[in-house]
Amino acid sequence: MERTTNAISSDTPGISAGRLKASEYALRFCDSHAPLTLTQALIESERCYYCFDAPCTKACPTSIDVPQFIQRIAQSNIRGAAQTILESNILGGMCARVCPTENLCEKDCVRQTNESKPVEIGMLQRFATDAYFSDPGAPLFTRAASTGRRVAVVGSGPAGLAAAHRLAMLGHDVVVFEARSKLGGLNEYGLASYKTTHNFAQEEIDWLLSIGGIEVRTGQLLGRDITVDALINNYDALFLGLGLAGVNTLGISEPQAKGFRAAVDFIADVRQAKDMAEVPVGRSVVVIGGGMTAVDAAVQSRKLGAREVTMMYRRGPEAMSASIHEQEWAQKNGVTIRYWSAPKEILVADGAVTGVRFAVTRTEAGKLIETGETFSVQADMVLSAIGQSFVDKPVGAAIALEKGRIRTDDDGRTSHAKIWAGGDCRFGGRDLTVDAVEQGKRAAMSIDAALRA
Amino acid sequence: MADLSSNFLGIKSPNPFWLASAPPTDKEYNVVRAFEAGWGGVVWKTLGEDPNVVNVSGPRYGTLMGPDRRVNGLNNIELITDRTLAINLEEIARVKRNWPDRALVVSLMVPCNEESWKRILPMVEDTGADGIELNFGCPHGMSERGMGAAVGQVPEYIEMVTRWCKQYSKMPVIVKLTPNITDIRFPARAAKKGGADAVSLINTISSIMGVDLDSMTMSPNTGGKGSHGGYCGPAVKPIALNMVAEIARDAETAGLPISGIGGISNWRDAAEYIALGCGNVQVCTAAMVYGFRIVEDMISGLSNFMDQKGYSSIADFQGSAVKTVTDWRYLNLNHVDKAVINQESCIKCGRCHIACEDTSHQAITATKNGAAYYEVKDAECVGCNLCVSICPVPNCITMKTLKPGEIDLRTGKPVSSEYANWTTHANNPMSPTFQQKNA
């Protein structure tokens, strides 16, 4: 890259937008993994053994019949392949982009045994869904005869969308309430831009809604514009896909200082930006945390032109909730990952962050302890990414919680007979998009059974 | 190092790999390139009478492909040479002169009358060619004109024309047989009766490669209409091996030299043909897919194989497997095999289970203690070899032969050490046991 003088660059101190040449942004924020070409897809699909009782399918939270959709790709039956995927996972297109397949279907692929090289299931799923969405033709899914029942879905993230679609398909009338201006939840606001380029999230939602029977009301925040009680009174059933609206605090003093913010907000800003050149980023960025949010924030900081980005995690690499694959992705993008570092103090001068002081940690008898040694990392932007939490206030006393999230049975049924819940707001999950889809789908079927009983 | 040199009917070549009569041997340019690449010999693409035939200027080939577009089968609708006889003869003479150590056999196809053969034979002999191969096999185009497979399908014609060739020429005569018949032994016997020095087989199998489902047109086609072609390549090898073995073990043709043709793609294929009695082999599809240098790998592989097995010449193992080919009725019905799955190498794809469960004998488990586990149930296994045949992992499933005295859990009876076949079986209405019982 050409080194420019006098202009704003990666070397410009403080927080600044436009650190790169205009042409550079498009290159950096393109698809992180180039989709398979037809030829590549055909070659890869022929690697599938079409296993009996396939381990990949069992590993998929939505139980996609993987050998079947891959066989259909090999047979040049793209619509059939997409049907297999989407009837199990209505957001199969997004999941093909964001699923940690290396820990799910591909981890269990029998090709691992002799080759350590699974069939590229995620990439094939993306190929099939992309090819289908580019020319969908006649609807894949149609609605059953109307039941005359009305179901409210609060939250339009993966869980809410999956629930809404399945409910509509089963003949119920659905109203989706969304606090933000766009549907999609984390699909729209919480993912790194390079994971879902070209406005894919909205296109997928448009397609999903095309089944009909789903009314969308945006700008409706639970507790402000709508209430659980009113929804229970006005609808036959209620599905809560509220996500995690709260951001976990670092457990140390968090100053109101320029450059200190939650990683989720930064990610949402990047995603919603019309022009990446307008997104400000620090010269030196510290991201505190070890999950996918931390990786997405760190990598995007680098892509926006930050000179150095460091992810700070208080434990070792194996304990990180970002997979080894994700960690390598961060490192490949020039992010330094430092382990065994717990934040002690956000350093501030003149109302702006200047760095973070960390304590060196280690485990002793299974417990994480600080060694007493501390060190500081200079930064003009500090992003906190140590997890989100469920904000239970709008739900009120209506339903029982467990460890701060909504308690449900396997079908998503809460302690209230008319309320189901799914996605990250529900207790006991792994906070994966694909799990949220499954929970939404399953809750919809449970609601359907209850309404027909 | 093993001696790969070949002496087939007195025709010497440095190795047993000849290029079959086909497009790769159509003219001097190709044949010289083949010899430069190391091919032991060629059968020059079939000559006919002037005026020369014409070929279509459109698709002459089509393929059947496996995973990753590997060519399993090749179909062609090319006719015999479409160049004049004079040009071909001139080139043949020159190539033979320049490459004296290589085999050069000329394939011939002229109308089924004595005069035609009488006329062409001396012309070919004058080129110095090592021998002739009578093309009684081509199943497309030429057969409509009473030549090629049209002759090969009538044993009397084969015998008649072969006799003419022996009468009007001193050259060794190889008769190339068509597989488009019901019993390969009859044309082979006819060739022998006519005085043939050898047979070569198989020529191609009549075929249509497919249908373009957009235009609803057969493929390959020439501007919308197609005609069946001749099919060859790896997919036809099992068919050809059977026909070779039938001739090799037929008392009437025993000892008749055979040149093996049909899907030979590597040294292993060649060794199999030789083990079933062939004196040499002819190759076409492999060269048409990979080019002439594939012969280097065939030579290297065959040489290493022979060294490893201690064979010093082709003759050392030629025909070694013929005696293992018999009629079904002589198979030992007291022999019992069971499949064994090696749990160490099993990758748990479950294909053996579902294949056995759905289509065979329900003899393979799917789970053990709730986890995937594929194991043969000896009480159900009939030793059919389906699981071995479809397992994606080499040598993961093998067959184990029960020893005499061992209990076959399927029948509950001990395995007999006696050989007993269908001819003596109590269920065979023709057997003495059956007839005594029902007397």
For the segment A304-340, what is each residue's pLDDT rounded down to a tens digit?
999 999 999 999 999 999 988 899 999 999 999 999 9
Question: Which pLDDT band holds residue B309 (cuts at 50, 70, 90)?
Answer: very high
> Which residue from B349, B353, B366 is facing A49, i.e. has the nearest CB?
B349
Model confidence at B121: pLDDT above 80: yes
How distant is the alpha carbon of residue A160 from its chain centre? 14
Model confidence at A439: pLDDT above 60: yes
> Which residue from A46, A53, A111 is facing B67, i.e. has the nearest CB?
A46
pLDDT digit string, tens, across residues B51-100: 999 999 999 999 999 888 899 999 999 999 999 999 999 999 999 999 99
Chain B CA closest to residue A112: B347
**Separation between Cα atoms, residue A237 and residue A214, nearest integer Å:** 14
pLDDT at residue B369, as a whole number = 96
pLDDT at residue B179, as a whole number = 97
For residue A135, what are the contacts with CB-CB under 8 A and spacing of at least 6?
none
Evaluate whether B177 touches B213 at the Cβ level (below 8 Å).
no
Tokens of A371: 């060694």
Give the residue-averaged pLDDT of A80-108.
Answer: 96
Count of CB contacts below 8 A, A vs B? Answer: 32
> Which residue from A43, A50, A110 is facing B348, i.e. has the nearest CB?
A110
The percent helix, strand, coil of chain B (3-state, each to 5) is 35, 20, 45
**Separation between Cα atoms, residue A233 and residue A380, nearest integer Å:** 50
Evaluate whether A385 touches A264 at the Cβ level (below 8 Å).
yes
Q: Would residue B232 show up in a list of annotated catalytic residues for this protein?
A: no
For residue B169, what are the contacts with CB-CB under 8 A and spacing of at least 6?
B121, B122, B124, B125, B132
How distant is the alpha carbon of residue B20 from its chain centre? 12
**Separation between Cα atoms, residue A197 and residue A200, nearest integer Å:** 6
Q: Are B348 and A55 within 8 A, CB to CB?
A: yes
Q: Are B348 and A46 within 8 A, CB to CB?
A: no
pLDDT digit string, tens, across residues B206-228: 999 999 999 999 999 999 999 99
Give the residue-averaged pLDDT of A64-87.
Answer: 96
Evaluate whether B166 touches B52 at the Cβ level (below 8 Å).
no
Question: Which pLDDT band holds residue B277 (cuts at 50, 70, 90)?
Answer: very high
Interface residues on A facing B, Cβ-Cβ cutoff 8 A: 43, 46-47, 49-55, 110-111, 113-114
Lowest-confidence segment of A155-159, B41-45, B142-146, B273-277 by average pLDDT: B142-146
Which among B348, B356, B364 is the top mutation candidate for probing chain A, defined by the most A β-carbons within 10 Å of its own β-carbon? B348
Give the residue-averaged pLDDT of A42-53.
Answer: 96
Q: Which residues of A touch B394 (CB under 8 A)?
A: none
**Separation between Cα atoms, residue A276 and residue A18, nearest integer Å:** 8
Residues B340, B344, B347, B349: is their CA dihedral positive or negative? positive
Give the residue-averaged pLDDT of A286-312.
Answer: 96
Q: How far is A124 from chain B (nearest CA, A)?
A: 16
Chain B CA closest to residue A49: B349
pLDDT digit string, tens, across residues B3-56: 999 999 999 999 999 999 999 999 999 999 999 999 999 999 999 999 999 999
3-state secondary structure of B87: helix
> Which residue from B68, B351, B366 is facing A49, i.e. has the nearest CB?
B351
Q: Which residues of B touch A54 (CB under 8 A)?
A: 350
pLDDT digit string, tens, across residues B381-433: 999 999 999 999 999 999 999 999 999 999 999 999 999 999 999 999 999 98
**Separation between Cα atoms, residue B206 and residue B148, nearest integer Å:** 12
pLDDT at residue A5, as a whole number = 53
Evaluate whether A257 touches A351 at the Cβ level (below 8 Å).
yes
pLDDT digit string, tens, across residues B349-367: 999 999 999 999 999 999 9
pLDDT at residue A324, as a whole number = 87
Chain A CA closest to residue B66: A46
Tokens of A36: 């398979």
Q: How far is B345 from chain A (nearest CA, A)?
A: 8
Question: Which pLDDT band holds residue A2 (cuts at 50, 70, 90)?
Answer: low
How distant is the alpha carbon of residue A373 from its chain centre? 36
Q: What pTM does this model have?
A: 0.89
Q: How far is A74 from chain B (nearest CA, A)?
A: 9
Inter-CA distances, B262 with A333, B160, B200, B202, Å: 54, 26, 10, 6
Q: Which residues of A touch B354 (CB under 8 A)?
A: 52
Q: Which residues of A touch B348 (CB under 8 A)?
A: 51, 55, 110, 113
Q: Which residues of B touch A44 (CB under 8 A)?
A: none
Chain A CA closest to residue B374: A52
Model confidence at A1: pLDDT above 50: no
DSSP 8-state code for residue A143: P
pLDDT digit string, tens, across residues A57-72: 999 999 999 999 999 9
Helix (H) or strand (E) holding A27: helix A22-28
Half-sphere exposure of B289 (CA within 13 A, CB side): 23
Long-range contacts of B191-195 (CB under 8 A, 24+ apart): B191/B158, B191/B159, B191/B162, B191/B256, B192/B252, B192/B253, B192/B256, B193/B159, B194/B158, B194/B159, B194/B160, B194/B161, B194/B162, B194/B163, B194/B166, B195/B162, B195/B163, B195/B166
Tokens of B55: 């070929």
The complex's ipTM works out to 0.84
Evaluate whether A158 touches A243 at the Cβ level (below 8 Å).
no
One DSSP character per residue, B342-406 reads -TTT-----HHHHHHHHHS---B--EETTEE---B-TTT-----HHHHH-SSTTSEEEEEPPTT-
**Separation between Cα atoms, residue B174 and residue B41, nearest integer Å:** 14
Q: What angle do CA A395, A401, A407 make, to 5 degrees?
A: 105
pLDDT digit string, tens, across residues A387-419: 999 999 999 788 999 999 999 999 999 999 999
Q: How far is A64 from chain B (nearest CA, A)?
A: 17
pLDDT at residue A6, as a whole number = 58
Q: Are A52 and B68 within 8 A, CB to CB?
A: no
3-state secondary structure of A207: helix
Residue keyed to tokens 């060196």: A360
Q: Are B392 and A55 within 8 A, CB to CB?
A: no
Residue keyed to tokens 């809750």: A443
